[in-house]
Amino acid sequence: MAFLTSDLIDAAALSRDVGASHHGAITTFIGSVRDTHNGRAVVRLTYTAYHAMAELECAAIVREAESRWPVRAALQHRVGDLQIGDAAVAIAIGAGLRDEGFAACRWVIEAVKRRVPIWKQEFYADGTDAWVDPVTL
Amino acid sequence: MTHHRVLLFARYAELLGAGEVAVELSHDATAADCIAALRTLPGGDLLPSHPVLVRNHAIVTGAVVLDPSDELALLPPLAGG
Mean pLDDT by 10 residues, chain B (81 residues): 95 97 96 96 94 96 94 96 90
Is A117–B75 a contact, with Cβ atoms under 8 angstroms apart? yes
Please report the pLDDT score of residue A134 as a whole number: 73
B interface test, pick of A38, A53, A75, A86 with most B CB neighbours within 10 Å:
A53
A interface test, pick of B8, B50, B78 with most A CB neighbours within 10 Å:
B78
ipTM attached to this prediction: 0.94
From chain B, pick out residues whose CB is under 8 angstroms from the CB of A54: 80
- Coil vs helix vs strand at A135: helix
From chain A, pick out residues whose CB is under 8 angstroms from the CB of B77: 133-135
From chain A, pick out residues whose CB is under 8 angstroms from the CB of B80: 47, 49, 54, 77, 89, 112-113, 116-120
Q: What pTM, to 2 d.p., does this model score? A: 0.94
Rounded distance between C-alpha atoms, residue B4 and residue B60, angstroms: 15
DSSP string computed for A26-93: EEEEEEE--SEETTEEEEEEEEEE-HHHHHHHHHHHHHHHHHHSSEEEEEEEE-EEEETT-EEEEEEE
For A11-20, give one letter per residue: b (16+ CB within 10 A) or e: beebbeebee
Rounded distance between C-alpha atoms, residue A98 and residue A29, angstroms: 14
- The CA–CA distances, whole Å, from A126 to A11, A43, A119, A131, A132 equal 32, 9, 21, 15, 16
A84-111 pLDDT, tens digit per residue, is 999 999 999 999 999 999 999 999 999 9
